[in-house]
Every structure is written in structure tokens, then in C-alpha cells.
Amino acid sequence: MVYQRMVLVLLLALTTLLLTVCAGQDFRGQIQPNAELGHLLNLGPNTRVLLQAIPPETFVDSFEGNGESSVDAAAVNTSGLHKLAAFGQQRDRSTLVAVDGSFIFRDLEPGAYTLELVSRTHTFEQYRIDILDPALGKAPQIRIFTPGTSLVSILSSNLVFHPLIIHAVKRIEYYTEAAPLTIGSLIGMGGPMMILGLVGMGLVFLMPKLSATLDPEAQKELADSQKRIQKRIAAVQAGDVSSLLYNEDHLKKGQERERIANQARAERNVGRSD
């Protein structure tokens, strides 16, 4: 009788040991409030945690065609893609976040995974999770993963403690507050044409006041400059572009020489007629 009890105890111990060795490892995490997430109730319902398995390199290399014909390589790649899809269906896991912000994945098989939190209100960091052999008695290895970087290169980064403590990175803003209506915004909406119009209106009101404060000589110079500008505008409108290339004194001298030449030509013509 005593012998049977001892055998039964040994069988139970061996069974428990085998179940412990064969069973997977649990992974736990907890979302905690911070400045971006004031309270866990702000997460809203249906906040989900996705755990996607990373295929080992040997598994990926097994269905790549090496020196085979195009038909054989296509067949190998097609079968390999089916195997890869089946691998993801077997290993990928998902769960909902509890009211207290906790989540757990039980009996995970050894391998590498990526962990992502899907929320409609906040964004979170992504992580790479490495589940080791339970016989080693080591906790899961957790590293921060930035999308777009190599999953292999992050193995040299620092580890994060398990159970994983997660904080929100940023709150998702679905609405943008309209900017207040100011003079600067009106000018910005009008563009350069509105700025030129405002400058012109300012000159119309300011120039008479500025000219009134000048002394008589300065007012005379200002009037002369305005006359010259008007003459140049009239020359451009008349098509006399050459007059724009010379100053007023040069034009007066040229006009005087032309008048004298015309007068001398007229006198010669009168002498010939006599």
C-alpha cells in the first residue's frame, strides 16, 4: 500500500514536471496613466493588444528559390507563402485590455513576437517580445521597437522589465481648433496683392501729410521729381523709350540742338527760294 502511494506521488510529480516543460510561458502587461492618459477610462472600449509572431530566418529561407527555374521558384514561393500564412494563424494572438489596464497572453510558444496596442484615442510604443525556452527559467525579453527599423538590430538595445508597464505616447486628435480671426490672418489669406493694396492706401493718406511738413525747397524738389516721373510715364505710353535712357538736362540740350539745326535748315531753304 505504501509502495503504491509512493509510485502515485512520483507519477504526479513527473506529470507536473512534463506539463511545466511542455507548457508555454505567460506574458503580462499593464497600461498606466500619465500626462497624455489622465485616466484609464479615457481609453474607451475595445482597446486591443496584438501579438504577431516573427518567422525565424530559417523558415523564411526555406521557401526562397535558390538557383531554380522561374516556374519552380514561383511554385516554391507560393507554397512558402501558404506556410507563412499558416504560421501566422497559429502563432498570432490578440486580447482585449481589462478595465484596470492589464492584459495577459498565456502559454506562448518560444519565439519572437511584435506587440502593438490598438486604441482609438491614444498611441503607444511598439515592442519586440522574445519568449525563451521555459526550461531556462528566464522572463520574456522585451525591447522597444520602432516601425521601419530592423527587428534584428534592436536586439542590442536595452531590455524592458517584465511585466511590461506601458504609457501612452500621444493622444489622437480628431478635431483641429480653428485659428482666431486676426489682422495677421486676414493679411495672410489675402497674400501679396492685399499687402500691396494696403501699402498703396497708406501712401495715399500719408504722402500729403509728409509733404506738408517739408520746407519750401524740399516741396519744390518733390514736385519736380513728380513731374519727371509723370514725363517718363507719358514717354512710355507714347512709345518713346529712348527718352528713358537719358536725364532731363541731356534731353534739353538735344532738343535745343535739334531746334537750332531745324532753324538753320529753314534759313537755307528760304535763301535758295530767293
CA distance 153 to 115: 17
Most confident of 92-96, 181-185, 191-195: 92-96
**Domain assignments of the chain as residue spans, ordered by start:** 24-56+80-171, 184-268
Confidence of residue 21 (pLDDT cuts 50, 70, 90): very low
Model confidence, pTM: 0.53
Q: What is the mean pLDDT of residues 171-200?
A: 72
Confidence of residue 227 (pLDDT cuts 50, 70, 90): confident
Asked whether 95 and 48 are in contact (CB, 8 A), the reply is: yes
> Residue 132 above 50 pLDDT?
yes
Encode pLDDT of 244-268 as tens digits: 555 556 566 666 777 787 787 777 7
* Residue tagged 532738343 (cell numbers): 255
Encode pLDDT of 44-57 as tens digits: 788 999 999 888 76
**What does the mean pLDDT of the chain come to?**
76
> Residue 226 above 70 pLDDT?
yes
The DSSP bridge pattern shows strands 48-54 and 164-166 to be unpaired
pLDDT of residue 97: 93
Report the 10 Å Cβ neighbour count for 85: 10
Q: What is the mean pLDDT of residues 180-195?
A: 67
> Residue 224 above 60 pLDDT?
yes
Considering the domain 24-56+80-171 in this protein, what is its CATH number?
Answer: 2.60.40
> Residue 96 above 90 pLDDT?
yes
> Residue 67 above 70 pLDDT?
no
Amino acid letter, residue 86: A
Q: Which residue has the higher pLDDT, 14 or 237?
A: 237
Q: Which of 57, 64, 58 is nearest to 79 (CA)?
A: 64
CA distance 139 to 26: 9
CA distance 51 to 117: 9
